[in-house]
Structure 1
Amino acid sequence: MQPPVLRVARPTNDLHKVTDFYKRGLGFEVLASFENHEGFDGVIVGRRDCAWHIEFTHQHGVTVERAPTTEHLLVLYLPERDAWRAAVERLEALGVPACAAENPYWDRQGKTFEDPDGYRIVLQNAAWG
């Protein structure tokens, strides 16, 4: 039996910029992409060994707003200190500064960054569960 796969999908105004952020900043791979599929272009990023991925879409002729609040989070648990530090350093090398989390819980063992669309990514240096 194949396990379920989680896809998080959200719109963006700039597929190239957001894809670059997740590839270079977080080390994700482009798993698939499409152009002009019923008025949408899209890129799917993630890691081939994980049962989840993120799909970014752009609908032709539509402009989307930035993230509605600072509590719209994508949390990545990176329990190994070296892997966590490398992810933080990749984002900082791209010129993406860490920002204070709205919920101070995330600042205790993590760092929060904003992607090009204003959605926040928490790199949590802890194991989940």
Structure 2
Amino acid sequence: MPVNGRAHIRIARPSRDLAAAERFWTQGLGLDVLFRKESAAAEAGPGAGYALLMVGWRYAGWHLELARDPHHPVLPGPGEEDLLVIYLDGPVPDDLLARLERHGGRCVPARNPYWDTWGVTVRDPDGYRLVLSTRQWSSAEH
């Protein structure tokens, strides 16, 4: 398959706590668990020992992979501009924000005021920022 708009995208990030991340992304945002692998010390080969959690919407062209190496942990190092933006094409539902906060998220001001004008920024349990944008995605506007 050539590299083009039909290629599936995996966004991979380290996680401090996969259980907390899972609650935020699944119970909070509503993503599905697409794959899970627990850490196993006796494993051999590429990716041995890693615990993985892949979440996303089943038919989306992307998914989020959260990984934890219990033997050599890499702590997340997100900055204020490390954003995952979801375009809602309408208001951000209050019940969605409440659910995200109940499951480990925290609403925070955006570093770039554009996102405060056009959405809400929520920090996940690992410190990464999810922006729920009220705008509709249009490549012509961006």
TM-score by length of 2: 0.80
Show structure 2 runs of 5+ residues with no match. 41-46
2:12 is paired with a residue of what secondary structure? Answer: strand
Q: Radius of gyration: which is bigger? A: 2
Show structure 1 runs of 5+ residues with no match. none
Q: CA deviation at 1:95?
A: 6.1
Q: What is the number of residues matched between the two proteins? A: 127
User: Is the Cα contact below 8 Å between 1:88 and 1:123 reproduced in 2?
Assistant: no
Q: 1:106 to 1:121 in 2, by over 3 A?
A: same
Q: Distance in 2 between matches of 1:14 and 1:97?
A: 16
2:26 is paired with a residue of what secondary structure? Answer: helix
Bigger fraction of residues in strand: 1
Q: 1:66 to 1:38 in 2, by over 3 A?
A: closer
Which segment drifts farther, 110-119 or 88-97? 88-97
Q: Distance in 2 between matches of 1:116 and 1:9?
A: 15
Q: 1:11 to 1:126 in 2, by over 3 A?
A: same
Bigger fraction of residues in helix: 1
Q: CA deviation at 1:61?
A: 1.6
* 1:91 lines up with 2:100 in the alignment: yes
Aligned twin of 1:64: 74
Q: Distance in 1 between matches of 2:103 and 2:23?
A: 10
Q: CA deviation at 1:55?
A: 0.5
Q: 1:95 to 1:69 in 2, by over 3 A?
A: closer
TM-score by length of 1: 0.87
